[in-house]
Structure 1
Amino acid sequence: MYWNHKIEQQDIPSKADFLVQVTTYVNNFVGGEVSGEVIRQLVNYTHLYTAEQESPALHRDFGQFVQDHEFLTAVVFEKLSLFPKIVGICGTYYAMQYFEPLTKNPMQPFNLSWRSKLWRALDMIKYLGLLETSGREPLHLCDVKHDHFGWDERGRLSFLDLDSVLSETFLLRTMQDTPHCDTHHDCSYFDCQGRCHLRTHRCHLQRTNTNLQVVCDKVFLGHTASLLSLYGLLVSSEASQDLQDALHLCSTNKGMTVDSMTDILTRASNALMF
């Protein structure tokens, strides 16, 4: 795109040509057609084409914004109400809506009652269901951590690390663009695991685990590939054997569904009423 080089006054395209370029770029990012409303909102954030003469500085700023994965994800998927919103821009900086993280230090015990832990877990499971069904294709969380989930003042949940949110098309394209693989890790994008075909040394175009598996494993059970010991949200002496078995199955079996896990957590929460 034109904003990859130093922009001078003579480099600035007409508004019509500019919108075509931006639309093409954003469609490639999403893996499908984005509405004109989203494109206009993206352009309006930096007040382009509102003055009598266009500013090269504003176009340079826009170039940084549109190539920022977090910023673009927040704008493109804003209508889904799944992620924090952009609340302000100043120069090349932007501010996002605040959400209180599940915990700021997963190596310390949660300061929550068992009931509150179950309710938090239910929020997260239902949120994963929305990621599967709200858009034209599933959205993948590729860097899941305790503090990447947060709640606003109204109790609405959001995933906070938008740099690691990938559409299905984007994730599969990342795998497809891997020129050579020797191990399954070569086809993975952080927590979004891939699979290497060891005969052709090409990545299969399919994720081999799910958002649900990763959340159960890393957040609910506190498992980590490092030597760090993390607290699992649902690791407790108060957890029934049925819930413990379900969490183990959820973390290891791709066949566990959001609906099944919702039912299990709902029963565990309801049992506290009696």
Structure 2
Amino acid sequence: TAGWVLAAALLLRAHPGVLSERCTDEKSRRILAALCREYEGGVLVGDLCEDLCVGEKLLYQRCLYYERGKKVLQADWRGRPIILKSKEEAFSSFQPLGLLQDAADEGGQDFPEAELLLLVAGEVKNALGLELSGGSLGPLWPGRRGPRWRGQLASLWTLLQQEEFVLFSLLQDLSRHALPVLGSCGHFYAVEYLAAGSPRHRALFPLDGTTGAPRGGRGQAKAVSDMALSFLDMVSHFEDDFSHRLHLCDVKPENFAIRSDFTVVAIDVDMAFFEPKMREILEQNCTGDEDCNFFDCFSKCDLRVNKCGAERVNSNLQVICDKIFRHWFSSSLWSSALSFPLQRQLRQAVQECADPGRTARRPPRAAPDVFWKLRRLLRETQRELQEAEK
């Protein structure tokens, strides 16, 4: 029985879509119609509801995917392509706010603001593991009390139960490597539409919409070097620029996109965790190191106490080198675009980064010096490509 359970778990990890619903336009339209009925009934609100439900300025385009309850839809908002996301299909699927259930007054106008702030801070701690003061909760605060304050709080509460929404909202003005939240309606929130990466693309990411669309081998090599440098910038940013390190535990092309200026953007952060939450996730019971692997985030098993260490032993850079850079720098992409010595140095640096020491008793993180080595080699690559164009 244990063997079958393990096999099923491995199957779901490798192919999470096996339990996904079929993504259809008919069902997607029904979901949005139900959302609008609840908006019209005063159950939920949001700054996008009027455009979606009344003004017909937010128009459904197509279903992107359903996965384990999560719904991801593409829409057009006043001529701008966007994505509508929710962790659950129905508003009622989320845990309701107890204050609203217990309130005696109809409008809920007498909720003490301090109590609401505590509740919001508690949900952020539950979602991300972060202890935030009231002054840091601005992007998540419901705003001025009005006639639909009750629906406003109920809607906020469904959004706060979605870790990705909370993370994107808090990073809104702090990171160019994360999607900003454009608005919401009930439990659905909107983000910018960017074409995701895919293993089907030779360069992993579609390059047609990028500034100065690449032509020929050198053009594509230049685009890849720009993207690689942006990945390094993102690694450094997530490592050093917040109060806690941000760990990416599901690194694959589909979870990133490239802006027209080749900036890398994390578009799916369901498996991204700040250090306090990461330590909480990793510190589990174990009988071997394999029990301490949480997707792309690894820990070590202390067999003296059969407990996984709370500290991650690999790094974002290591996984990006393994799952993104290996594809780029071991391919024929560079064959006619770059000198052989520089190609060899890049391959060696990526190998050193992705696999810094199999024989070590404790697998090390990618050393800081390999980050700077990669950055130097990528700068040299850009210079060499520019000189070849002259």
Q: Same fold (TM over 0.5)?
A: yes
Matched, 1:23 2:121: yes
Matched, 1:243 2:346: yes
Tell me, what secondary structure is at the counterpart of 1:162? coil
Instruction: Look up the match of 1:192.
Output: 297
Q: After superposition, what is the alpha-carbon deviation per residue over 1:221-262, rounded to whole angstroms, capped at 9, x for unaligned?
A: 1xxxxxxxxxx1233342611111111111001243322221
Q: After superposition, what is the alpha-carbon deviation per residue over 1:91-114, rounded to whole angstroms, capped at 9, x for unaligned?
A: 22111123333x3x3034236611
Instruction: Look up the match of 2:325.
Output: 220
In 1, the alpha carbon distance for the partners of 2:266 and 2:148 equals 39
Q: After superposition, what is the alpha-carbon deviation per residue over 1:138-176, rounded to whole angstroms, capped at 9, x for unaligned?
A: 111110001222123454321111111110111001123
CA 153–241 in structure 1, closer or farther in 2 if over 3 Å, else same: closer
Asked if the contact 1:243/1:268 (under 8 Å) is kept, the reply is no
2:112 to 11, 14, 21: 14
Unaligned runs of 5+ in 2: 1-94, 208-213, 215-219, 357-364
1:147 to 225, 230, 254: 254
In 2, the alpha carbon distance for the partners of 1:96 and 1:148 equals 14
- Bigger RCO (CA 8 Å, 6+ sep): 1
Tell me, what secondary structure is at the counterpart of 1:181? coil
In 1, the alpha carbon distance for the partners of 2:260 and 2:383 equals 25
2:200 to 103, 107, 115: 107
Name the larger-Rg structure: 2
Q: After superposition, what is the alpha-carbon deviation per residue over 1:174-210, rounded to whole angstroms, capped at 9, x for unaligned?
A: 123x2x2123232222101111112311011111111
In 1, the alpha carbon distance for the partners of 2:262 and 2:297 equals 28
Normalising by structure 2, we get a TM-score of 0.60
Instruction: Look up the match of 2:158.
Output: 64
Shift of 1:37: 4.0
Tell me, what secondary structure is at the counterpart of 1:268? helix
The size of the alignment, in residue pairs, is 255
Instruction: Look up the match of 1:225.
Output: none
After TM superposition, the structure 1 = structure 2 runs for residues 123-162 of structure 1, keeping only pairs within 5 Å, are: 123-162=230-269
Normalising by structure 1, we get a TM-score of 0.83
In 1, the alpha carbon distance for the partners of 2:231 and 2:125 equals 29
Matched, 1:75 2:182: no
1:90 to 161, 178, 185: 185
2:139 to 41, 54, 70: 41
Q: 149-158 or 66-75, which moves further after superposition?
A: 149-158
Shift of 1:134: 1.0
Tell me, what secondary structure is at the counterpart of 1:199? coil
Aligned-residue Cα RMSD (Å) equals 2.5
Unaligned runs of 5+ in 1: 222-231
Shift of 1:132: 0.8
2:374 to 261, 267, 270: 261
In 1, the alpha carbon distance for the partners of 2:116 and 2:316 equals 36
Return the letter of the residue paired with 1:256. A
Q: Which has the higher strand share?
A: 2
Tell me, what secondary structure is at the counterpart of 1:158? strand
CA 117–145 in structure 1, closer or farther in 2 if over 3 Å, else same: same
In 1, the alpha carbon distance for the partners of 2:293 and 2:249 equals 9
In 2, the alpha carbon distance for the partners of 1:249 and 1:20 equals 46
